[in-house]
Chains A and B, each alone.
Chain A
Amino acid sequence: GQNIDQPTEMTATEGAIVQINCTYQTSGFNGLFWYQQHAGEAPTFLSYNVLDGLEEKGRFSSFLSRSKGYSYLLLKELQMKDSASYLCAVRGVNAGNNRKLIWGLGTSLAVNP
């Protein structure tokens, strides 16, 4: 089967660093995505990893280990506006699902003052 696991909820303090983990088991792998979604709004693209290692983009970084089926999203210098749901999604490699993302259930992050 195909499965993506991420924590349901996390809480952090403004100015701190938080790491949101994602583990996956999918039939094939051709990239992992992180999206941010505020309540009532559409998901917005944060990062894409297809090779092992760390991708840094401003306050946000994403890490991938394909051998471990593991990724994390690191958010630094947290701001109140970072309170949102963070969705991990994996793209399969087979022709049948190459156009389809497999989504995790999302991690709801609350940033407190």
Chain B
Amino acid sequence: DTEVTQTPKHLVMGMTNKKSLKCEQHMGHRAMYWYKQKAKKPPELMFVYSYEKLSINESVPSRFSPECPNSSLLNLHLHALQPEDSALYLCASSPTDGQGGYTEAFFGQGTRLTVV
């Protein structure tokens, strides 16, 4: 299994809603990531989890809350989002090299989020 699976594929939510994005991988990767991507822009790193611990938070607003329940799952909890948060949210995973680095990232297909 070389896939990173994200659900849902599409999500429309109001500014007062609470929703969660889910990501799952069964490749034994111990590094998992959340990225945000706007149209015609490269992916923008949000969070990195290494061995189920949050290792990087790229100054993301608190209305985005990540969670890593175990080594295979990564969630992104959303609350009180703004229309400008509409984007493609990508999950990725990678094997670590034992020195805090990684060799490549496998991306999920993403969740297309629209905030209305």
Contacts and interface: CB of A to CB of B under 8 A. Distances in A.
Given A42-B90, A44-B107, A101-B105, A95 B42 contact: no
Interface in A88-111: 89, 91, 95, 98-101, 103-106, 108
Contacts of B41: 105
Contacts, number: 52
B41 to A, nearest CB: 7
A8 to B, nearest CB: 9
A91 B101 contact: yes
Most chain-B CB neighbours within 10 Å: which of A41, A43, A85, A104?
Answer: A43
A33 interface: yes
A7 interface: no
Contact of B42 (A30, A44, A99, A106): A106
Contacts of B108: 42
Contacts of A87: 42
A101 B35 CA distance: 11
B107 A101 contact: no
B42 A103 contact: yes
A85 B88 CA distance: 15
B34 to A, nearest CB: 13
A31 B103 contact: yes
B42 A98 contact: no
Interface in B77-114: 88, 90, 99-110, 112
A3 B42 CA distance: 13
B57 to A, nearest CB: 12
Interface of A: 30-31, 33, 40-45, 48, 85, 87, 89, 91, 95, 98-101, 103-106, 108
8 contacts: A30-B101, A43-B107, A45-B106, A91-B102, A98-B100, A99-B101, A100-B45, A108-B40
